[in-house]
Structure 1
């Protein structure tokens, strides 16, 4: 990837809860002082945040209210920072809690209005892209975080009970073709991120990952890595080595948009910094385009085993652009 025409290997961070404002919306995580957060970062650092339609619903009136989300964009602009806006979550967390299944990817994203929300996903996508397309802070868009067009076999859609339809990859590809084309139409300079976890998820396992990401509606491929769950270079079907091969074949960058490791009661934050620094160095050597830590919180819980990255965490000193 490049920034201002120069090679760019960003070290960014996920701060999913930036749109939380308890005076306005139902929130998603803790409320963050936006100027304090963006002010502590190196200029042009990359932050990934939840720009869900639920965060644009005023909890007092039930009406559309962009004040909390607009505040994130305006604060990023003031501090010369960059944002990836994630427009929804496959699991439905911090939205309605409704899993986005096979039917949602085929037609529901255009037609369904989930209880508690005010519009279809298509309408939300078009509304928010129009609203922020001209902002210098918007580095790009992600339609759905960790897409997985599975069929649900129980009410809770437990992952052990889901069924992957044989046409899942084709359905996901068609979704990206359509949504990507519309985002590019509304924001011609947009960079669209795939949202993929990058493992063996329904619709993108093995070779299907390349089929889906060949879509002209995807500009940057994603991969998520959690120390202790994933390993480097990973298996030959869905590991990082395979994903970087596929990205190279498609001539598209692969960004590690989530890299996390638990600390607190289960390990020191200094050891985590050492381990993750080594991990993203290996990721860079294997051809990835950057890494983003999971996840910033303003009030970390040091007595619990969590993925929390607080303001004073040593990982925060790494956020910015990796040296050549």
Structure 2
């Protein structure tokens, strides 16, 4: 009897971890679609200047996936944001793979979209990272952008192209999606050591054209399943392989790329140059300013206030702070933004106006 009971329990556990292929019901259209008009973002026919947050940890659910960082109470988080705020988060395939069964389980990511819809907040789901931080598969080298993205990486159930199709098909009906991000901080480098250390990566000729072609092909998959939403890519805007110097213009001129990104952790030293001649919206999708043991959070809020004003003067089209965490570390010098950080008020003040 005991053996039979154990067998039954195991069968139930396996069934609970079985691959979830069900589709989500279409929610009501209670948020207008974000659009691009030339070099500006538009909402409800008016210029829109989003000022929001990165919150990469939202898809972490320890009972479901391996996660990344601490769990976030989604209703508490989204409930503190003003309606039509904007949040960028990790919607990596690893967050949709059950940590025990190794099969697809959308529970954790479904919860993020559901909570955003309830609180009428926009999302930028990042569908993959360049490296393996918070995801499986390792650093993506130039050959991945050439052809290997059609094959599953170690630890993944689906190849990247199939993951994009699956994710966009599943959540494309959500009015909370502001735009889809194909990948965070892409770089067409080749590793020359086993650890793929930054100093040992090589930039080979043709990297910009390779990245541009990949963007158009990957974005085409998004268009098949969600033709009305914008597509972006997490370009840093510095001297990365494939987008350094004049290569940045080559990449950002990709036909299927709607919104260009810049990531600022160094006083926006390249931003003005990247904006020069750009005919698409530019979103500073990561603005990182340290606080904690090195700077009071009130001082950081003042810096962010001045920085967002400068972005607007330069011609950028919005900014997202890096990064919200539910458990900030005040005794360390970090980019952590906790629930009570005064920078939230700064973002509210800058958000939405043209």
* Same fold at TM > 0.5: yes
Unaligned runs of 5+ in 1: none
| Distance (whole Å) between structure 2 residues aligned to residue 122 and residue 274 of structure 1 | 42
When normalised by structure 2's length, the TM-score is: 0.86
Aligned equivalent of 1:78, options 100, 105, 118 = 118
Please say if residues 181 and 216 of structure 1, whose CA atoms lie closer than 8 Å, have aligned partners that are also in contact: no
Q: Per the alignment, in what secondary structure is the counterpart of residue 331 of structure 2?
A: coil
1:192-231 equivalent positions in 2, closer than 5 A:
192-226=231-265, 230-231=266-267
Partner of 2:333: 305
The structure-2 alpha-carbon separation of the partners of 1:126 and 1:284, relative to structure 1 and needing over 3 Å to count, comes to same
Q: Per the alignment, in what secondary structure is the counterpart of residue 194 of structure 1?
A: strand
| Distance (whole Å) between structure 2 residues aligned to residue 231 and residue 76 of structure 1 | 31
1:196 is displaced (CA, Å) by: 0.5
1:57-76 equivalent positions in 2, closer than 5 A:
57-76=97-116
Please say if residues 68 and 134 of structure 2, whose CA atoms lie closer than 8 Å, have aligned partners that are also in contact: yes
> What's the C-alpha RMSD, in Å, of the aligned pairs?
1.1
Q: Deviations over 1:212-254 (max 9, x none)?
A: 111122100000001xxx124x2xxxx111111142xxx2100
1:147-186 equivalent positions in 2, closer than 5 A:
147-186=186-225
Please say if residues 58 and 112 of structure 2, whose CA atoms lie closer than 8 Å, have aligned partners that are also in contact: yes
1:298 is displaced (CA, Å) by: 0.5
Q: Per the alignment, in what secondary structure is the counterpart of residue 147 of structure 2?
A: helix
Q: Deviations over 1:156-207 (max 9, x none)?
A: 1001000001110011011011011221122110101121011111000111
Larger Rg: 2
Please say if residues 45 and 319 of structure 1, whose CA atoms lie closer than 8 Å, have aligned partners that are also in contact: no
Unaligned runs of 5+ in 2: 1-40
Q: Per the alignment, in what secondary structure is the counterpart of residue 163 of structure 1?
A: strand
Q: Per the alignment, in what secondary structure is the counterpart of residue 103 of structure 1?
A: helix
Partner of 2:131: 91
1:288 is displaced (CA, Å) by: 0.2
Partner of 2:274: 243
Q: Per the alignment, in what secondary structure is the counterpart of residue 144 of structure 1?
A: strand
Partner of 1:103: 143
| Distance (whole Å) between structure 1 residues aligned to residue 250 and residue 83 of structure 2 | 36
Aligned residues: 312
Aligned equivalent of 2:167, options 105, 124, 128 = 128
Partner of 2:56: 16
Runs of 4+ deviating beyond 4 Å: none
